[in-house]
Amino acid sequence: EDSTLHVYDILTSKGLNDIIPKTRWVNLAWNNENTGFYYTRYPLPGTVSEDKMNYNRHVYYHELGRDYHEDLKVFGEGRDPTELYRLYSHNHNDWILIIAWRWNSADIYLAPQSDALSPFTVIESKSDICWGYLSEDSVFLMSFIDAPNGKISRYRLADFLHPDKAPEGAIVVEEGEYAISDISTIGYLTITVKKNASHEIRIHDLESGAHIETIEFPSPTSVDAIITCPQTHKLYLPTKSYTNPDAIQTYVVGEGLGSYFTPKVRLDSNDFKVELVWYKSKDETEVSMYLVSANKTSPGKDTPILVRGYGNGGIPYMPQFFPEYIIWLEKGGILAIPHIRGGGEYGKEWHTMGHRKHKQNTFDDFIAAIEWLHANGYGTPESTAIMGRSAGGLLVGAVLVQRPELFSSVYCAVPLLDMVRYTEFTLAKLWMSEYGNPEIEEEFGWLFSYSPYHHVIEGTSYPAVLLYTALGDIRCDPMHAMKMTARMQAVTTSEITNRPILLSIDREAGHGVGLSTEKLVEIRTNQVVFHARHTGLDLT
């Protein structure tokens, strides 16, 4: 998962000699003359000890044609070594914006581009997950300060010449069922909001904040970062849904949606349906869930059910296209996506009620989804499968050891499973604000209470399990899947030919990255075939 930055001339399609190593997860912002750029870089070999190589990310300024060893370090020295940085610039002003992000809080800084070493002025400090965006004459801040579903505030760039001037305050505040997901500030103030784990786009006047109109989609849809053409004010919307491959739609105010790019596939989305249902979790909290199926499928006790979840980091589990599960649906299976706490589907509070000392709520919500399905005629334990990857791997790992009788098969990919020692490997200290620090007694208690590896119990009949990891994964170290496999194989009382505990390892891949198309097809095929075998789905 290491990266090298290359610079290309888009007019000639030729690469320049500007090649910069150690730029994993790079964020970059050009200066207005296109003669250089600000970017993020990890330490070069030999400059820090080995245990610090995955931390201490800093912001540098690179002038085109200059050796990267001479680049100026402009931000990050002496700050929290786990911080990540986002950089923004704008074609029509001379400022650089930096967001210093720590998962659950952030600092926002601004500086003029006139001198790469200009001091940065703090706009917001320790804000409750605050993000900044530049327009021609303003900085727009999105935060959750006194606004659980988010608010947008505005600073005039001219005010930074007068540091005693107070910010304008919130010009748009989303309340109730709408939670702010993202904004764009080119042409309009375009706000992406979440409603029942689906996106809507609300368009506002950039100057006054007045609402102009709302873009609604006919089925649950997620929208990636909106692209705006300043000359035409046309919006380009990269969209995803459960039953349509990723596409790009266009929108012009007053004219409605159009199509810019739609993949040509032998698939009719009208053959499928997506239903929203609600159920109660263990503590009576109402949780929503999407059920995706073919129109021809009538749910019953023998229907194969695949339940997939995430519930972590305030990241909403929005609609996305799973090509491997179209087969699942076409063959009569149902896909269930519960919107469990720990995710960001319903704003900041939905996240905080599923992290740190409240993490068990995440698992309870997922378990309750499976129980609701069975109680309402959707499958049985023998026809039910669960899956998750990354933090979703932790989710299904915890549910596996807490309620192994609820399902027949588990796919657990690139997971965290030893929550007592997770911080000792690669860059996992980044996740401490989300889960807790095992070196602090109280937080150790939270972590040990659900750590999947430590709750594998001898004499238990476990379902079939397929764990997947990659040797190059620096986010969720492969030791988690390896030791979990060994422990479960040693103690399960299930007949190994009927309910095996399996481990799949990729030697040249990372946390879901670095995979060829052929390898992706192999991995996803293995998922479907494994679950089909253990739930009774007929793939013939």
**Half-sphere exposure (Cβ direction) of 373: Cα atoms closer than 13 Å:** 37
Host H or E run for residue 399? helix 391-402
Query: What's 29-79 look like in SS3?
Result: EECCCCCEEEEEECCCCCCCCHHHCCCCCEEEEEECCCCHHHCEEEECCCC
Among the listed residues 260, 199, 205, 216, the one whose alpha carbon sits nearest the alpha carbon of residue 234? 260
- Two tokens, residue 7: 């610079």
Tell me the C-alpha distance between 21 and 263, whole Å.
35
3-state secondary structure of 471: coil
Q: Which residues contact 479 (CB under 8 A, 6 or more apart)?
A: 418, 425
Domains (ranges, CATH) in the chain?
A: 5-173 (2.130.10.120), 269-535 (3.40.50.1820)
- The pLDDT value recorded for residue 460 is 96
**Half-sphere exposure (Cβ direction) of 102: Cα atoms closer than 13 Å:** 18
- Two tokens, residue 223: 């929208």
Host H or E run for residue 170? strand 169-173
Tell me the C-alpha distance between 324 and 456, whole Å.
30
- The pLDDT value recorded for residue 187 is 82
Looking only at the bridges linking them, the beta strands covering 272-280 and 256-261 are: unpaired
Count the neighbouring beta carbons within 10 Å of the beta carbon of residue 215: 21
Among the listed residues 383, 385, 369, the one whose alpha carbon sits nearest the alpha carbon of residue 303? 383
Tell me the C-alpha distance between 391 and 375, whole Å.
27
Tell me the C-alpha distance between 128 and 538, whole Å.
49
Tell me the C-alpha distance between 13 and 33, whole Å.
20
- Two tokens, residue 279: 């159920």
CB 201 within 8 A of CB 237: yes
Among the listed residues 308, 277, 295, the one whose alpha carbon sits nearest the alpha carbon of residue 375? 277
CB 82 within 8 A of CB 429: yes
Q: Which residues contact 12 (CB under 8 A, 6 or more apart)?
A: none
Model pTM score: 0.93
- Two tokens, residue 10: 């888009």
What pLDDT tens digit does each residue of the chain (540 aa) get?
789 999 999 999 999 999 999 999 899 999 988 999 999 999 999 999 888 888 999 999 999 999 999 999 999 999 999 999 999 998 888 899 999 988 778 888 988 887 777 778 887 777 776 788 888 888 888 888 888 888 888 888 887 766 666 656 667 777 667 889 988 887 889 999 999 999 999 999 888 888 999 999 999 999 988 888 777 778 999 999 999 999 999 999 888 899 999 999 889 999 999 999 999 999 999 999 999 999 999 999 999 999 999 999 999 999 999 899 999 999 999 999 999 999 999 998 999 999 999 999 999 999 999 999 999 999 999 999 999 999 999 999 999 999 999 999 999 999 999 999 999 998 889 999 999 999 999 999 999 999 999 999 999 999 999 999 999 888 889 999 999 999 999 999 999 889 999 999 998 888 877 788 898 999 999 999 999 999 999 998
In 3-state terms the chain splits into helix, strand, coil percentages (rounded to 5) of 20, 35, 45
